Amino acid sequence: MQTPAQANNAEAPATANRERPPAARVALHAALILVVVLWLLPSVGVLITSVRTPTDISSSGWWTVLAHPNFTLDNYRAVIDAPGFWRTLLNSFIITIPAVIAPILIASLAAYGFACTKFPGRNVLFMIVIALMVVPIQMGFVPALHFFRALSIGSGYGAIWIAHTAYALPFAIFLLRSFFAQLPREILDAASVDGASKLRTYWSIVLPLSRPALASLAVLQFLWVWNDLLMALVFIQKDELEPLTQTTAQLIGNYAQQFNLLSASAVILMVVPLVVFLALQKHFVRGLVAGAVK
């Protein structure tokens, strides 16, 4: 006797959903699919253009490619064989990796100080951190250049590592502090009762428990630094140290109307971030939402 009633109950949400007129459902799907197509169109266009010959590109649209398929990898070969390409790619990694690790380490220490310890002036100091989150980094460039010149660390990667680290701190501290503040107090208290020093609690309890937040931050910071153009323009003083974004932006002048090479360069520039995004999407999204909602 109970079974039909239960089944009915379970179906309730579905029927509520189906109450909408079928025309509305069709319109809904049509609108969503249209948006997806519009959003894919630019990238698909670049991807197809990047594997076509210059003659094909200028004589027929990429959207007609299925009518007379003719693909080539020459554009990629030309971009990769250009002098300095591999060095530039390496530069992007050399700039990015320390500029991800250093701010996370320094910010996690500070966030621990703000979330798990008490000291006079703590809240005022944290309010300054919040204020600094929205300060345009442009305000920092000229004084930073003076500072680097005074210490003569302007010529290597040092300047851009330090600058990326410093400018990443406000957001990183903010994100990690809100995560640390939610860790169960009992665990931290238990550690302190057991005689663990604050530093030890931070290293062997707080950090391991915060892996999800640290991973989200690492993904966001990786993409931020990898994709950065402005800071490279300002803080990289030697051509042979330039990252991929910077050299690609300059190609636009050099290659002008050579859309075969421009599109291949664009695809190469997107590969690493897209792989990181697709592999670590969960962390990326979680970081954005936490950073925004908190």
Partner 1 sequence: MSDLASRRRLRSTRSAAGGFLFTLPAVVLLAIFLVYPVFATIRLSLDTGIFLQLQKFVGLDNYKRLFSDRYFLSLNGVPSGALVNNALWLTLYVGGCVGIGLVIAVLADKVRYERSIKVVLFAPLSIAATATGLIWLLMYAPNPNISVINGLLSEFGLGPVGFLGSPGIVNFALIVAAIWGGCGLAVVVLSAGVKSIPREILEAARIDGVSAFQEFRLIVLPMMIGPLTVVTVTLLVAAVKTFDIVFVMTRGGPNGASSVIGYVFYDQVFQRGRGGYGASAAVLMLVLVLPIMIFSIRQFRLEESRR
Residues in binding contact with partner 1, number by CB under 8 A: 106
Nearer to partner 1, 74 or 114 (CB): 114
The nearest distance, CB 142 to partner 1, in angstroms, is 5
CB 184 within 8 A of CB 206: no
Instruction: Enumerate residues 155-214 that contact partner 1 by CB under 8 A.
Output: 162-163, 165-167, 169-170, 173, 198, 202
Q: Is 274 in the site for partner 1 (CB under 8 A)?
A: yes
Distance between CA atoms of residues 139 and 49, nearest Å = 40
The nearest distance, CB 248 to partner 1, in angstroms, is 5
Nearer to partner 1, 1 or 217 (CB): 217
CA distances (Å), origin 174, targets 120, 128, 207: 19, 11, 16
Q: Is 84 in the site for partner 1 (CB under 8 A)?
A: no
Nearer to partner 1, 140 or 156 (CB): 140
Q: Per-residue contact track with partner 1, 20 to 49, x per CB under 8 A?
A: x---x---xx-xx--xx--xxxxx-xx--x
The radius of gyration of the chain from alpha carbons, rounded to an integer in Å, stands at 26
Among 1, 10, 12, 150, binds partner 1 (CB under 8 A): 12
Instruction: Enumerate residues 230-249 that contact partner 1 by CB under 8 A.
Output: 230, 233-234, 245, 248-249
Q: Is 131 in the site for partner 1 (CB under 8 A)?
A: yes
Per DSSP, the residues of 128-181 read HHHHHHTS-THHHHHHHHHHHHHTT-SSSSHHHHHHHHHHHHHHHHHHHHHHHT
Q: Is 259 in the site for partner 1 (CB under 8 A)?
A: yes
CA 257 to chain centre: 30
CB 251 within 8 A of CB 261: yes
The nearest distance, CB 290 to partner 1, in angstroms, is 10
Among 26, 71, 211, 273, binds partner 1 (CB under 8 A): 273
Burial of 146 (0-12, 13-18, 19+ CB in 10 A): exposed
100 residue type, one letter: V
209 residue type, one letter: L
Q: Is 152 in the site for partner 1 (CB under 8 A)?
A: no
Among 8, 70, 123, 155, binds partner 1 (CB under 8 A): 123
Among 34, 73, 128, 190, binds partner 1 (CB under 8 A): 128
Burial of 172 (0-12, 13-18, 19+ CB in 10 A): buried
The nearest distance, CB 226 to partner 1, in angstroms, is 7
